[in-house]
Amino acid sequence: MNEIVLKGIPAAPGIAMGPAYIVNKQEMVVPARAIMEKEVPIEIARFEEALIKTREQIAGIRKKISEQMGGQDAQIFDAHLLVLEDRMLIEEVSKRIQREKQSAEYIFSNVFKRYAEAFKNIQDDYLKERTADLKDIARRVLRNLIDEDRLSEIDQFKEEFILIAHDLSPSDTASMVGRNVLGFVTDIGGRTSHTAIMAKSLGIPAVVGLKDATMRISNQDEMIVDGRMGLVIIRPEEKTREIYRKEKGRIFASRGRFADIKDLPAETLDKRTITLATNLELPGEIPLIKRQGPVGIGLFRTEYFYMNRVDLPSEEEQLETYQRVVRSMAPHPVTIRTLDLGGDKFISSLQVPRDMVPFLGWRAIKFCLARPDIFKTQIRAILKASAHGKIKMMYPMISGVSEMRQANAILEEVKMQLREEKIAFDENIQVGAMIEVPSAAVTADSLAQESDFFSIGTNDLIQYALAVGRVNEQTASFYEPFHPSILRLIKMAVDAGYQAHIPVSLCGEMASEPVSALLLLGMGIDELSMTPLNVLQIKKLIRSVRFTDAQKLAQEALSLSTGQDVEELCKAKLQELAPAVLKSGD
């Protein structure tokens, strides 16, 4: 078979070569989760409730089918219902929860697997075919026990592979840490979707938005993923492989190409200094961050901490993590963003239905203000950790002054409690607003009065300003970071920060791309925060140009009327001012 080249959206740079492994969400493997003695009755009750719920669901389907198609077709569901009432199954699961002290879903999935195996070995063809029905029931019960996002079959896979999926949630992607994943390929998704951000921070090449890759790729197909160009090559010919092998070698050789400036400041030729910082998704990235020279953390996305678990992290647990991060980053500051639930960042442990937290709606700060219990626990942990190092805190998705005030009022309450309890924290902790909703940018002058700093989140700002989803591959070409409206919104925030003498950072993906970073430098941004692997390249850029040239570029860009014109201008300017930066291997 000839090689096939698919073009998607480049999401994380680098080249991966290896066999394909298609994740099929239909096959669920449940990771083990140990429970304590006192949780045994809770787990058994959860299991029984899930069975009841599943029975109700199946009875509902049975009724519908028999109304529409007659009793004959509905009979299959009677068999399903019988399985769910099987005393032996129920007793075995309950006993094993008690004995093995593992979660209901883990025990149930193991017991059920044995049932399914036994069915497969039956000589009767009819019964053999019923294995699929059994699996279907298991899936239903599991879905009632656990959020589907946390069920992964990857646990079984030992070889290195390129993961192919219709979609990957950020929690799926996070669960790939430490596994043998060489690359990610998905049918849906956009450049700034959290899956893409996660892949970048894991240093795993990714191409998203391929529309029908899962239909064209078969398991074990040899593949090449070119994360720079957004190409996926299925069953590559030898000459293609050779080209990519060489390319990989070149990238590898150029990895350390900016190492000589690692310890130098991010200072322009005419002496304007920018603070460079990194975004942190998972504490495991800290060793990589530390290899990028003296940088702090400009955005600690705490959502991932809440993912892939059934409960919420306690104050102690959060404190332990924040402290660990802050201690290992010392003397550099760590900016912790409070929980940003919603959109494509979904957290199963909150027991909040997914459709309640869409991109537009009850997400991020709005969710936290409505759930002060969750919010206060996190703030307490952040404040306590602030006694152990330099911590800044910021709220996501602030839309204006009243939300900022409400959040700060809760913060004050927590501070008061800590004072009463005589618990140390940094009384001068700086608290900032993320500027990622257009209304916040437009009212940035008033917001600046309530904030110690701003951090512009362009990933969201772009989608809300242009009405183009950040995870939607169909509209990827309309998601324009260089659109004049985005430039103006950024400028409003920068000017307001300047007027109020508060620093303005930018932590969206625009900070990590040389073409946009040059423009942002000229617009007067004080800090750029990005994925660790881009830090040295952006530092090289800053050290190669004059601030006054970047300012001229920004001025000219702000006078243009289309995103395309702005982008072309910035590209040309970058080529002219800092060609060395562009000779990148990836």
Kindly list the catalytic residues: 194, 507
3-class SS string, 530-571: ECHHHHHHHHHHHHHCCHHHHHHHHHHHHCCCCHHHHHHHHH
Q: Per rule CB under 6 A, is residue 460 in the interface with ligand PEP?
A: yes
Q: How far is the CB of 457 from Mg ion (least distance, A)?
A: 4
Q: 274: buried, middle or exposed (CB in 10 Å: 19+, 13-18, 0-12)? A: buried
Residue 377 interacts, among ligand PEP, Mg ion, none and using kind-specific CB cut-offs from 5 to 8 Å, with: none
Residues with Cβ within 8 Å of 437's Cβ and at least 6 positions away in sequence, in order, are: 397, 398, 399, 460, 461, 464
Q: Which of 337, 494, 358 is nearest to 407 (CA)?
A: 337
# residues near ligand PEP by CB under 6 A: 10
507 binds ligand PEP (CB under 6 A): yes
Residue 436 near Mg ion by CB under 5 A: yes
The whole-angstrom separation of Cα 497 and Cα 452 is 9
Cα separation, 204 vs 184, whole angstroms: 7
CB 282 within 8 A of CB 177: yes
CB of 508 to ligand PEP, least distance (A): 3
Q: Which residues pair with 16 in a beta bridge?
A: 225
Q: Which is nearer to ligand PEP, 168 or 217 (CB)?
A: 168
- Which lies closer to Mg ion via its Cβ, residue 418 or residue 489? 489
Binding partner of 183, given Mg ion, ligand PEP, none, CB within 5-8 angstroms per partner class: none
Question: Where are the extended beta strands (E) located within 194-353?
Answer: 206-208, 222-226, 231-234, 275-280, 296-301, 334-337
User: Which of Mg ion, ligand PEP, none does 380 bind, CB closer than 5 to 8 A by kind?
Assistant: none
Pattern 286-305, ligand PEP, x by CB under 6 A: -------------x-x----
- CA 465 to chain CA centroid, Å, is 21
Distance CA(572)–CA(551), nearest Å, equals 15
Q: Which residue is nearest to ligand PEP (CB)?
A: 457
Complex with ligand PEP: residue 304 or 375, whichever CB lies closer:
304
Beta 222-226 vs 231-234: how paired, if at all? antiparallel
Which residue in the set 189, 293, 342, 508 belongs to the binding site for ligand PEP (CB under 6 A)? 508
Which is nearest to 213 in space by CA: 238, 231, 240? 231
Q: Is 457 in the site for Mg ion (CB under 5 A)?
A: yes
Q: How far is the CB of 131 from ligand PEP (least distance, A)?
A: 42
Nearest approach, Cβ of 509 to Mg ion (angstroms)? 10
Q: Is 281 a binder of Mg ion (CB under 5 A)? A: no
- Pairing between strand 4-7 and 231-234? antiparallel
Is residue 459 near ligand PEP by the rule CB under 6 A? yes
Residue 457 interacts with ligand PEP (CB under 6 A): yes or no: yes
By CB under 5 A, the residues from 458 to 487 that bind Mg ion are 460
Among the listed ranges 151-159, 169-177, 182-190, 451-459, the one in contact with ligand PEP (CB under 6 A) is 451-459
Give whole-number Cα distances, 463 to 148, 166, 230, 298, 565, in Å: 27, 22, 21, 21, 20
Residues in region 329-348 near ligand PEP by CB under 6 A: 340
Report which of 359, 354, 356, 336 is spatially closest to residue 192, judged by C-alpha positions. 359
- Pick the piece of the chain touching Mg ion (CB under 5 A) from 106-114, 143-151, 217-225, 430-438: 430-438
Sheet with 161-165, edge to edge strand ranges: 4-7, 231-234, 222-226, 15-22, 161-165, 181-186, 206-208, 9-12
Tell whether residue 209 is a contact of ligand PEP (CB under 6 A). no
Stretch that binds ligand PEP, among 93-101, 441-449, 455-463, 566-574 (CB under 6 A): 455-463
Q: Considering the complex, what minimum distance in angstroms separates the CB of residue 464 from Mg ion?
A: 10
DSSP state, residue 258? T
Q: Shortest distance, CB of residue 256 to ligand PEP, whole angstroms? A: 28
Stretch that binds ligand PEP, among 114-122, 165-173, 314-322, 452-460 (CB under 6 A): 452-460
Residue 342 binding partner per list ligand PEP, Mg ion, none, with a CB distance cut-off of 5 to 8 Å that depends on partner kind: none
Contact between 97 and 110 under an 8 Å Cβ cutoff? The reply is: no
Instruction: Convert 359-393 into a string of H (helix), E (strand) and C (coil).
Output: CCCCCHHHHHHHCHHHHHHHHHHHHHHHHHCCEEE
Determine, following the binding rule CB under 6 A, whether residue 8 of this chain makes contact with ligand PEP: no
Q: Is 313 in the site for Mg ion (CB under 5 A)?
A: no
Cβ nearer to Mg ion, comparing 230 with 457: 457
Q: Does 200 bind ligand PEP (CB under 6 A)?
A: no
- Binding residues among 91-120 for ligand PEP as defined by CB under 6 A: none
Q: Which does 149 bind (CB under 5 to 8 A by kind): ligand PEP, Mg ion, none?
A: none
For residue 170, state whether it binds Mg ion (rule: CB under 5 A): no
198 contact, one of ligand PEP, Mg ion, none, CB 5-8 Å limit per kind: none
Q: Which of the choices ligand PEP, Mg ion, none does residue 332 contact, using the CB cut-off of 5 to 8 A by kind? A: none
Q: How is residue 14 annotated by DSSP?
A: S
563 interacts with ligand PEP by CB under 6 A: no
Burial 475-503 (b: 16+ CB within 10 A, else e): bbeebbbbbbebbebbbbbbbbbeebebb
- Residue spans of alpha helices (H) in 123-237: 125-145, 170-174, 194-202, 213-216
Instruction: For the CB of residue 194, give the shortest distance to ligand PEP in the complex, in Å.
Output: 6
Compute the half-sphere exposure of residue 281: CA atoms within 13 Å on the CB side of its CA: 22
Which residues of the chain form contacts with Mg ion (CB under 5 A)? 436, 457, 460
Q: Interface with ligand PEP by CB under 6 A: which residues?
A: 299, 301, 340, 436, 457-460, 507-508
